[in-house]
Structure 1
Amino acid sequence: MTGATPPPARSPRPSDLDPAIAALLKRDANGLLVSVAQQYDTGEVLMVGWMDDEALHRTLTTGRCTYWSRSRREYWVKGATSGHTQRVVSVALDCDGDTVLVKVDQAGAACHTGDRTCFDARQLTVTGPAVPGV
């Protein structure tokens, strides 16, 4: 359908997120926040996803990471089909209110490619000045 308006990038569904938490959030134009999933005991950054108020509410109340898929335009619970679940240990909001850090206990691969993290495969070369002592 040429010229048709695409559906919204997020769900228009109202959320049961605590209004005090919702008031702290700075969402993008689509009502989304960046969500960084980190292995709670090793500090590994596992993946980055997107959450709206409802996904954050579900994450906080179920103890399982729920994300908003921008491409599929639906909620997905990490591991619901793959079995590679993320059990929530803690959730923190950054100083700007636009990113949440979800510390999880990851079972299996975090990346859809089957890698442990989404950051395993493509290391970029740093050509700037070296950091002393590293």
Structure 2
Amino acid sequence: MLPDVAVEDLRFDVRGLLPAVVQQHDTGEVLMVAWMDAESLQRTRELGETVFYSRSRDELWHKGATSGNTQRVVDLRVDCDADTVLVLVDQGGDGVACHTGERSCFHRRLPLRRSAPS
């Protein structure tokens, strides 16, 4: 069993935000990364679905409220520095987490740059 962390112990950045890594709970697939402030984290815990803070719109954003692709929260975990949360979810709707229509926001690859052998 993992030890509990108090919300007061979380280390929000100077803007009052924490990165939130969202992962499918049963497969480990990383679906997206978003931002949470104290209010969105509180709403996520109360609602049992992800609520994020949109930096571009400067407002809270209930994931899937419009599209139906909600994310049911299975567990919340905090990293060793208490400055990032891992949100384990069951991706709802049609299984799409990304606004592009892809299941995961990580659907593109950046090739490694390898030097020629000498």
Q: Would the TM-score normalized by the shorter structure come out above 0.5?
A: yes
Alpha-carbon distance between aligned partners in 2 of 1:114 and 1:70, rounded to the nearest angstrom? 21
Number of aligned positions between the proteins: 109
Partner in structure 2 of residue 81 of structure 1: 66
1:17 aligned residue:
none
- The gaps in structure 1 that reach 5 residues or longer are 1-19, 130-134
- SS of structure 1 residue aligned to 2:77: strand
Residues 65-91 of structure 1: per-residue CA shift (max 9 Å, x gap): 000000111111110001011000000
Using the size of structure 2 for normalisation, the TM-score is 0.87
Query: Is 1:118 aligned with 2:108?
Result: no
The reply on whether 1:94 has 2:94 as its aligned counterpart is no
Q: Give the Cα–Cα distance (whole angstroms) in 1 for the partners of residues 8 and 62 of structure 2.
A: 24
Measured on the aligned residues, the alpha-carbon RMSD in Å equals 1.4
The residue type equivalent to 1:88 in the other structure is V
Partner SS for 1:59: helix
**Structure 2, unaligned runs of 5 or more:** none
Match of 2:49 among 59, 64, 89: 64
State which structure, 1 or 2, has the greater radius of gyration over its C-alpha atoms.
1
Distance 1:128 1:47 in 2: 27
CA–CA separation in structure 1 for the residues paired with 2:6 and 2:65: 26
Identity of aligned residues (%): 58
